[in-house]
A = this chain, B = another copy of it.
Amino acid sequence: MAVTLRDIAAEAGVSVMTVSNVINGNRSRVSQTTIDRVQRIVEARGYVPNVSARNLAARRSHVIGVLVPVAADDSLLMSPHNVAVIGGMERALRERGYHLLLRGIADPREVSEAVQAWDLDGALLLGFLDEEIDALDLPADVPLLALDSYASHPLATGVRTDDYQGGLLAGRLLLACGHREVLFAGPTFTDIGVVRQRFDGFRAAFVEAGIAWHDGLVASVTTTHDSGVDLGRELKARYPDVTAVFATADILAIGIIEGVTDAGGRVPRDVSVVGYDNLDIGAYVTPRLTTIAQDIGDKVAVAARMLLDAIDDPAAPRTGITLPVRVLERGSVGSPREA
């Protein structure tokens, strides 16, 4: 049988509540002598508080749910971006005494279920659509943080990078190199959201430069390597005048480069490609990927802090934070060839 508070209390000759106070660092309420004695016994007996009992009594869990939508194949959406976020989050939480419950969400209702069932202190929503977030029905006192979201749900006020600026920078870069026919490649988007922002920023670069941009130059594709390859292969046929592509994700951009190469083209000589994210992998491919870089570590650190602060002080007003992005020039962008 595991050692309990009661065992410690008996051995120390004090009440259970005194031991509890020592364990929880309520030192002002206990004499130093008692603290020392109890701590020695705790140490000697290898006492470990039972999480369930503590959570039940305290009506909170010190657990943060990291909730990730599950794709059609029922497996977690573990993009390199999400992986970096989860890893960083685990670390930030551990440092502050919280734990991470990783949970795939097949139906949005499971979000509030998870929050209730686990007495979650908070939750990080990773990769949900803004519409899904807005449709969430949650107890108002549980801090939620949706990463990279433009949802208007008040609980979801969060952290994101400057997607509009990212699009703008990508547009400017390609325009500065002399490109005029540029394809925007990314997932289907609506009036709000990450992709919309990147698109608007991208288009603004053309307006700013006084250069017309063809509405038709948008390719709606899934954000995967494979669909990038497909697009790259057909690029010449479907968009004969295009000299550059702005892809909303590195993984997609890398696929596009591969597809273009497969079809006999060369990057950046025939087609320039700009990605988005700055994943490690972009540095491993040939040519190295030019991309819009966001600092995921920063983003996670800020998100963790914001979430835990909201838990400590639920009444404090929350304002979203937008982190900067920058252009990381490597080898996949050049000037267009003469026609």
Contact = CB atoms under 8 A, between A and B. Distances in A.
Q: Give the most central of A83, A119, A255: most B CB within 10 Å.
A: A83
B87 A75 contact: yes
Contacts of A49: 117
Contacts of A208: none
Nearest to A280: B225
A61 B52 contact: yes
A89 to B, nearest CB: 9
Interface in A265-317: 280-281, 284-286
A118 B284 contact: no
Nearest to A95: B74
Q: How many copies of the shown chain assemble into the complex?
A: 2
Interface residues of A, number: 46
Contacts of A139: 2
Contacts of A280: 225
Interface string A204-215: 000000000000
B116 A90 contact: no
Contacts of A286: 285-286
A103 B113 contact: no
25 contacts: A48-B117, A50-B116, A50-B117, A51-B118, A52-B53, A52-B56, A52-B61, A52-B118, A52-B119, A56-B56, A70-B91, A75-B88, A76-B87, A76-B90, A76-B91, A78-B83, A78-B87, A99-B101, A100-B102, A101-B101, A225-B280, A225-B284, A258-B284, A284-B284, A285-B286
Interface of A: 2, 48-53, 55-56, 61, 66, 70, 74-76, 78, 83-84, 86-88, 90-91, 94-95, 99-104, 113, 116-119, 139, 225, 254-255, 258, 280-281, 284-286
Given A48-B116, A78-B87, A94-B103, 20 more contacts: A2-B139, A48-B117, A49-B117, A50-B117, A51-B117, A51-B119, A52-B56, A56-B56, A66-B102, A74-B91, A75-B87, A75-B91, A76-B90, A78-B86, A86-B102, A90-B103, A91-B104, A102-B102, A281-B281, A284-B284
